[in-house]
Amino acid sequence: MSVFDVLSERGFIKQMSHENEIKELLEKEKITFYIGFDPTADSLHVGHFIALMMMSHMQRAGHRPIVLLGGGTGMVGDPSGKDEMRKMLTPEFIAHNIECFKKQMSRFIDFSEGKAIIANNADWLLNLNYVNLLREVGVHFSVNRMLTAECFKKRWEKGLTFFEFNYMIMQSYDFWKLHQDYGCVMELGGDDQWSNMLAGVELIRRKEQKPAYCMTCKLLTTSDGRKMGKTEKGALWLDAEKTSPYDFYQYWRNVDDGDVENCLSLLTYLPIDEVRRLASLKDAAINEAKKVLAYEVTKLVHGEEEARKAQEAAEALFGGGVNLDNVPTIEIAAEQMSAKVIDVLTAAKVFSSKREARQMIAQGGLTVKDAVLSDPEAALNPGLFDADKSLLIRKGKKKYFRLLVK
């Protein structure tokens, strides 16, 4: 079975520039391909996860990936899918984010012994001569054609700056540059990048008279079409400092029944027959499939030990277990054992503000030990704490925290 068959069977592929040629190429040759990542934050998020998994499957089949970090394109910002212009990022912010990305990607991609390449498009884009770019590349782009691209349509009413209009040309230049330097013949990416990717394919075919291809993976969405990876705190990050392994585990443990098969297929390496077996479970039994999903995905992102800890914490809270050591813990000083509940929890970022805490209490959504808190001015007291000086707090139905006196 070729990697094309694997990607097709697991549901990755959305669109292809030249389907029959791509299928034959991946069956008969080992190619160099790339995926671009603009460093707009200091962590990858779930939106990047599916692209990394696609890249990993390709590498496992013997193809060589290039991770292209957008030190140059990040200075402009991709307008695809955005209602307004992105905030301009500083070079220092971008450089920091690139270093964060590199560390996280090593969990998915093997960078040893030339098995993969990391490149940064700042190395060529920031030194381009504008007139030369217009003569070498701009002449191959039709403005009429660009204006029909899906990535620009959302911006017609609010306006699209010339600044952003250049993004497609920059991304196309990247593909051409990687083709020249590394023999890269294929670009992979999310389906929201389709227009930009096609433009790069066409640039190479026009300038070099050589084959080039692109293939998109579908975006990670729920069965009813909503984008996955959003939590009450915002994005679901792959950095443990931004989304704890426990919260990450719980997100996947609580996906809708109808999303289990898609997530198992796209975000784990479980054999497809096992994916289908787990997804076929009904009623209460589907919870076992969700536990497998949560464990496998957390193991990939955070490692086996953190996945085990998250699993044990969930079992302690929801499955009748007794070991609370791995439940998200907030350390407090002894003098805080008599402080107001909302002061302690707001300072620990359980709530973004005291106003949010009061609203949750008014709705009966905060439980201290076994009692629902009704008074927003209520204070802790030493008698609430267990012998090990810990106290269990529940926010909403499924968010648990353990206060632990240092």
Contact indicator for 78, 47 with CB cutoff of 8 Å: no
Can you give the pLDDT at residue 265? 97
- Same domain, yes or no, for 74 and 177? yes
Q: The tokens 């790069």 sit on which residue?
A: 200
DSSP 319: S
Can you give the pLDDT at residue 231? 65
Can you give the pLDDT at residue 323? 60
Residue 324 lies in a domain: no
pTM reported for the whole predicted model: 0.78
CATH number at residue 354: 3.10.290.10
- Same domain, yes or no, for 119 and 213? yes
- Same domain, yes or no, for 153 and 50? yes
Residue 323 lies in a domain: no
> Cα(377)–Cα(294) distance, rounded to whole angstroms?
37
> Cα(195)–Cα(223) distance, rounded to whole angstroms?
25
Mind giving me the DSSP string for 133-202? HHHHTGGG--HHHHHT-HHHHTTTTT---HHHHTHHHHHHHHHHHHHHHH---EEEEEGGGHHHHHHHHH
Residue 225 lies in a domain: no
CA angle 323/324/329 to nearest 5° reads: 160
Give the total number of structural domains in the chain.
3
Domain hosting residue 245, numbered range: 230-318
Can you give the pLDDT at residue 82? 47
Can you give the pLDDT at residue 40? 81
Q: What is the mean pLDDT, run by run of 10 residues, along the chain of 406 residues? A: 95 96 96 92 89 96 95 69 57 85 89 91 91 88 78 67 81 96 97 91 95 95 82 80 91 93 96 96 92 96 94 77 69 87 88 89 87 87 82 82 84
- Known catalytic residues? 40, 45, 48, 82, 86, 171, 192, 227, 230-231
Can you give the pLDDT at residue 4? 97
Can you give the pLDDT at residue 263? 96
Q: Which of 183, 331, 311 is nearest to 252 (CA)?
A: 311
- Same domain, yes or no, for 380 and 268? no
User: How many C-beta neighbours within 10 Å does residue 110 have?
Assistant: 12
Last residue of a domain, one of 318, 338, 369: 318
- Same domain, yes or no, for 158 and 201? yes
Residue 224 lies in a domain: no
Rounded to 5 degrees, φ, ψ at 270 are: -60, 140
Q: How far is CA 51 from CA 36, 100, 217, in A?
A: 10, 17, 7
